[in-house]
């Protein structure tokens, strides 16, 4: 069987969708499928990747010329809808669409405010393009029930729930933890790092536990300045090689995902921490809360986040219990073997 995957971007371009599609492509190939990826940018030595000239609108490239492709299944990945639209326009069937998250324009990009009116116009254009794609799709996949039910677009459709996944064997379970809380992700406004910095200011009044920030992004300097103004003990490590990143996660007392935007629909980093036996705290947003509760706690505001960090730091028995639970859940539900089986079942059904 030949599978055509479409995605706006592909690694080495950074992002959760990109990593998901790369893993999906490699796992399908290992299972004996012929796989071809169509995208605006990226390359891969192990899978055929075809890049096409595109209008490089930030986060949403529009293909100028779409290649002639022929497969047994076409599997598109959105929110950026323009590559999926090419499959729908050509009526290439069967068409499976994974809807990773809604398009929500942040209040700020690179420290600059985006007028609400402009944001609403962009969101409406996205909806007008996306809805016909979903209407014509044979199967729509979402990664969690709560996100699908709360999405203003997705809740109008029947969906299959297939979560994101990781290679569990890459992550060593670790019981011995060091005295720091970790954040791992891009340093951009919607990821919610200022919320965590505010909470850590409260925590550090009670306990001398450091915050470690792994990742880089357009708002790094602004966040470093905010941390200094708040007097938070924090180390900004920047981007790390994968092995080093995993080591930092596995030695942390807690991993926090503070994003409160619908642009964050799942949180693969939560799975990485859970696989290491590191308890997690995630925000009470659709999708994120589903995953965080599998191996940790959910918070509802800055003070509540501070309370829950203190709770896990001072209650080692609870922290270890949540760490063991998280590892078990990842092995059962969020490993690539289980997820690929579910994807294969969908392919066969269509």
Please write the tens of the pLDDT for every residue from 272-323.
999 999 999 999 999 999 999 999 999 999 999 999 999 999 999 999 999 9
- Whole-number pLDDT of residue 111: 61
- Whole-number pLDDT of residue 110: 59
- In the chain, which residues have pLDDT < 50? none
- Whole-number pLDDT of residue 265: 85
- Whole-number pLDDT of residue 134: 97
- Whole-number pLDDT of residue 226: 96
- Whole-number pLDDT of residue 218: 87
- Whole-number pLDDT of residue 146: 94
Q: What is the pTM of this model?
A: 0.91
CA distance 309 to 320: 14
- Whole-number pLDDT of residue 124: 87
CA distances from 190 to 132, 225, 264, 286, 342 (A): 28, 17, 8, 15, 31
- Whole-number pLDDT of residue 251: 97
The answer to whether 117 touches 42, Cβ cutoff 8 Å, is: no
Partners of 112 in the β-ladder: 109
- Whole-number pLDDT of residue 120: 83
Residue range 229-270, pLDDT digits in tens = 999 999 999 999 999 999 999 999 999 999 988 888 899 999
- Whole-number pLDDT of residue 14: 76
> Structural domains in the chain?
2-165+335-349 (3.40.50.2000), 168-333 (3.40.50.2000)
């Amino acid at each position: 069987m030949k599978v055509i995957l479409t995605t706006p971007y592909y690694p080495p371009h950074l992002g959760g969708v990109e990593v998901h599609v790369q893993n999906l492509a490699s796992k399908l190939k290992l299972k004996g499928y012929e796989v071809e990826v169509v995208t605006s940018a990226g390359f891969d030595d192990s899978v055929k990747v075809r890049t096409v000239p595109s209008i490089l609108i930030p986060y949403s490239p529009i293909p100028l010329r779409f290649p002639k492709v022929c497969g047994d299944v076409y599997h598109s990945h959105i929110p950026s809808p323009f590559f999926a639209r090419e499959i729908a326009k050509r009526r290439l069937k069967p068409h499976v669409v994974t809807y990773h998250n809604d398009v929500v324009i942040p209040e700020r990009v690179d420290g600059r405010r985006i007028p609400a009116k402009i944001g609403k116009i962009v969101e409406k254009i996205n909806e007008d393009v996306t809805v016909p794609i979903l209407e014509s799709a044979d199967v729509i996949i979402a990664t969690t029930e709560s996100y699908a039910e709360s999405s203003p677009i997705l809740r109008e459709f029947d969906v299959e729930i297939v979560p994101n996944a990781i290679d569990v064997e890459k992550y060593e379970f670790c019981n011995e933890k060091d005295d720091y809380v970790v954040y791992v992700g891009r340093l951009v406004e919607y990821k919610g790092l200022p919320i965590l910095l505010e909470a850590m200011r409260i925590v550090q009044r009670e306990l001398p536990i450091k915050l470690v920030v792994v990742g880089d992004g357009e708002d790094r300097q602004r966040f470093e300045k905010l941390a200094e103004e708040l007097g938070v003990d924090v180390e900004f490590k920047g981007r790390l090689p994968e092995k080093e990143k995993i080591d930092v996660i596995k030695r942390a007392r807690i991993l926090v995902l503070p994003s409160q935007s619908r642009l964050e629909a799942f949180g693969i980093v939560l799975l990485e921490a859970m696989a290491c036996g590191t308890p997690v705290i995630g925000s009470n947003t659709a999708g994120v809360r589903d995953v965080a509760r599998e191996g940790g706690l959910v918070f509802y505001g800055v003070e509540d986040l501070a309370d829950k960090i203190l709770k896990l730091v001072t209650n080692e028995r609870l922290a270890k219990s949540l760490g063991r639970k998280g590892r078990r859940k990842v092995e059962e539900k969020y490993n690539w073997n289980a997820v690929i089986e579910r994807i294969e079942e969908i392919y066969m059904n269509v």
